[in-house]
Structure 1
Amino acid sequence: MKKTILFIVSLLFGLMFINAGLNKFFNYMPPPKDMPESMLKVFGAYMTIGWLMPLIGIFEIVGGLLCIIPKTRALGAIIILPIMVGIVLTAIYQMPSGLPMAAVLAVINLWIIIENRAKYLPMVR
């Protein structure tokens, strides 16, 4: 039962990051209407760095795909971890209304990492 729930949660988590990554290339999701002015400035600054958003998008797509596949889920969670830290910090400091969603995604990412902790142990020994 736990494996099935983890697979479903990982599938949804991975699909969300694949969607976010694809949006960085095709811009099919408009920004929220209630986005604070400070966030619009931050995103404008990110867009002036032409390579940054495509790079993040590639990592979101690759990490999302890897999270869906059980054998590569541990690697996908580690790839998404720094992006997740950025999402949580942005939600805390720039847009607190996004914090509940960011917290849920962070908990899912941590759950995936904890469930796969045995795969990380050889790196720290």
Structure 2
Amino acid sequence: MKNTINFIICLLFGLMFMNAGLNKFFNYMPVPDDLPESMLKVMEAFLTIRWILPLVGIIEIIGGILFIIPKTRALGAIVIFPIMVGILLTHIVNAPSGLPIAAILFIINIWIMFENKDKYLQLINKA
């Protein structure tokens, strides 16, 4: 039962990041009308730096796929972690309305990293 719940949570997490990554390329999700002005400025800055959104999109897609597959989940959690920190900080500073969802996703990422701590410790111990 625990493995099934774990897989469903990781599947949803991975699909959310794959969807966000694909949206950076195909722009199929509409921008909300009630976005704070500070968030619009952040988005405008990202659009000015033309390479950053495709890079983040690729990382989100790859990380989401890795997160879904149980064998590569530990790697996916590490790949997604910097993006997740950016999402969390963006919602803390610019758009607090999205903070609950960002916090839940951050906790899931930390939880998966904690569950795979033995895999990470092997990397540190062999160095």
Same fold judged by TM-score > 0.5?
Answer: yes
Q: TM-score, normalised by structure 1?
A: 0.98
Quote how far apart the aligned CAs of 1:10 are. 0.2
Alignment partner, residue 61 of structure 2? 61
Moved over 3 A (4+): none
Q: How far apart are the structure 1 equivalents of 2:86 and 2:2? A: 29
Alignment partner, residue 78 of structure 2? 78
Cα deviations across residues 18-37 of structure 1 (Å, max 9, x unaligned)? 00000000000011221101
Alignment partner, residue 109 of structure 1? 109
Bigger mean CA offset, 111-120 vs 14-23: 111-120
SS in 2 for 1:111: helix
Q: How far apart are the structure 2 equivalents of 1:52 and 1:64? A: 18
Cα deviations across residues 69-96 of structure 1 (Å, max 9, x unaligned)? 0000000000000000000000000000
Which runs of 5 or more structure 1 residues have no equivalent in the other structure? none
Q: How far apart are the structure 1 equivalents of 2:110 and 2:69? A: 17
Equivalent residues in 2 for 1:3-82, closer than 5 Å:
3-82=3-82
- RMSD over aligned CA atoms reads 0.7
Cα deviations across residues 39-73 of structure 1 (Å, max 9, x unaligned)? 10110011111110000000000000000000000
- Using the aligned pairs only, state the percent identity: 68
Quote how far apart the aligned CAs of 1:114 are. 0.9
Q: TM-score, normalised by structure 2?
A: 0.96
Quote how far apart the aligned CAs of 1:2 are. 1.5
